[in-house]
Every structure is written in C-alpha cells, then in structure tokens.
A and B are shown apart, each in its own frame.
Chain A
Amino acid sequence: MADLFFEDFIVGEVKTFGSYEFTREEILAFAREFDPQPMHLDEAAGAASLLGGLAASGWHTCAVMMRLVCEGFLERSAGMGSPGVTENKWKAPVFPGDVLTLRRTVLESRTSKSRPEMGLVTFRFEMLKPDRSVALDAVCVIMIGRRNPGARLA
C-alpha cells in the first residue's frame, strides 16, 4: 500500500538511496541484449575505446537508476507512471565492480488541472560512483497520486 503521495515530495529536498554493484556478468548480459558494441563486451575492445576499459552501456546505467528509484521510494509511492525524461547526461563510464548510489533532488512539483487526482514531480536523479563523482545525471518527471484527490491546495 502506498504511503508516499504527491504532497510528500518537497521542492529542494535532497536524499540518497540504495546501492547497486555493476558486476561484469550483468554488464555483459545487458550489453549482449541491448547494446552489443564490442567496447561493452570485451576487455581489449573496451581498453582501446574512448571509455578506457570494459564499461557498462549507458542504457544499463539508466535501467539501474530506475531500479534504485523503485527500491528507494517509488514502490511505496502512489506512482502513476511517467510522461518522460527532460534530459539525461552520461558523465562518466561505469566499470565492473563499481557500486553506485542514487541521489534524488526534488526540482519542481505541480498539480494537474485536467487530472486532479495526481500531480507531476520533477526530480534530478544522479548516479554516484564511490568517489561521489556523477556517472549519470537525469531530470525525470513522475506522475504521483495526491493524498486527498480533488482537495483544494492551501
């Protein structure tokens, strides 16, 4: 049962959630299925590439970000889906053994006139490497149900 609603996401709030280890096996499995470029599949090719070593597909990092978003708070939120992603930047490669965490910043929050049962929350999601450098920076919008649908906002 959801215990986090639209009203619980306060603009300016920053929190970090979870951790996820990118294993070599999972990097290879994801790349074989969705991004089979040799730089994501083979050590020598990765080392010769601009990434500087066998590195995860950027789409894999996006998928793991979503996993941490789900585990961190969305599974217990009244989430109703997402209209999209405003912008996503891949800022640094992710290598086997890297453990990443999610940093969430609430950027904007607005109600919907056409759908009073929900609001739209804009988040910045950053995937942080162990040295706190940012591997991925995404601005995502999520539709979240209101605690008291239709109630007038103060």
Chain B
Amino acid sequence: MGLPRLGERIEIGRFVFTEALMLRFSRQYDPLPFHVDAEAGRLSPYGALIGSGWHTMAVWMKLFVGAHDAGGFAKDAPEAISPAGIGFSFKDLRWIAPVFADDEIVFSTILDSVRPSAHRPGWAVFRRQALACRPDGAAVMRFELTYLGPEATAIEWRADRPA
C-alpha cells in the first residue's frame, strides 16, 4: 500500500462561489446582513457581500469527500459506507480573508499524522490541515481536522498506487 505522504500538500479541487450559491447557503444557515444583503455588505467593514465561513468549510468537505474513491469495495464495506471517515473534532479554524461573489477558491490538504486504530483493523486516526486559498496563493481559510477513517481509501495512499 506504500507509505502515507505526510507533510505534502495535495489539491482536492477548485470551486467558484457564485452569488446565488453564497446566498442560498447564508439564507438557510448564516443569515447575517453582510451575508444575505448586497447593500448591507457594501456598508459593512468588508465593503461587499461576503460568503459564510461555514459555507467555505462545507465546500472543503465536499471536495475532500469527492477526492476519495471507494471503487472496488463492496457496497456494504466500511470503505464504501464512509470513504472519508467520521469526524472527531477540528481546531484552530481561521477565516483569514473574506470570500466575495464569483471568487474561485483552491482547496487543499496536508496530512500531519496518521495513527492506526487500536480497536479497528484497517482504520486509522488522521490529523490533517484543511486549506483554502485564492489562485494567487493568498490564504482564505485553514483548520486542523481529526477523524477516524478507513486506511485503504485515504487520498495519500491512493496517490501512491500505480495508475
């Protein structure tokens, strides 16, 4: 299976935050004036409508799940049921810069550590950085995620497999 690639940044995808997508998320979950009203955004310290930071996080997860491939596993195998895994916690979340309408954001991750589960063969506790940047590299968001996941579907192992 090869060794996990600790410390290496892997891009998991890019996403354009259209105003329509930003508004739909914010109206349902984060309806503060500068997230749902263009005029309120203009008058806010941000100078324009900005996306909810929770939307940025959710899109990181969307792309992270999408980077997993459970192909080849039985439908009822743990690798197929929960290819990314089950979250324990995150910490040190920073919303470093706002996301504006039509911004393209680049999402990536760095695996910091992985420790085989003592109780579940084939599972491990992963600790990884989640990163969101503008295409020029300017940071928008980061956090550190800890979760229990199957080893076989981890994106670092998959990246080591021959094509």
Residues of chain A touching chain B, judged by Cβ–Cβ distance below 8 Å, are 33-39, 44-45, 48-51, 57-59, 62-64, 66-67, 70, 74-75, 79-90
Contacts and interface: CB of A to CB of B under 8 A. Distances in A.
A57 B57 CA distance: 12
Contacts of A87: 89-92
Given A63-B29, A70-B31, A85 B143 contact: yes
Given A37-B82, A45-B81, A74-B32, A88 B89 contact: yes
Interface string B63-93: 0011000000000101011111011111111
B46 interface: yes
Interface string B87-125: 111111111001000000000000000000000000000
A57 B91 CA distance: 17
Contact of B89 (A70, A84, A89): A89
A74 to B, nearest CB: 7
Interface size class of B (residues with CB under 8 A): 35 or more
B33 to A, nearest CB: 8
A57 to B, nearest CB: 7
27 contacts: A35-B58, A35-B61, A38-B80, A38-B81, A39-B81, A45-B76, A45-B81, A51-B86, A57-B61, A59-B58, A62-B54, A63-B29, A63-B54, A66-B29, A66-B52, A67-B31, A70-B30, A70-B31, A70-B32, A75-B31, A81-B34, A81-B98, A85-B90, A87-B92, A88-B90, A89-B89, A90-B89
Contact of B148 (A50, A83, A86): A50
B89 A83 contact: no
Contact of A66 (B30, B66, B83, B98): B30
Nearest to B52: A66
B59 interface: yes
Interface in B46-60: 46, 52-54, 57-59
A39 B32 contact: no
A109 B33 CA distance: 23
Contacts of A44: 76
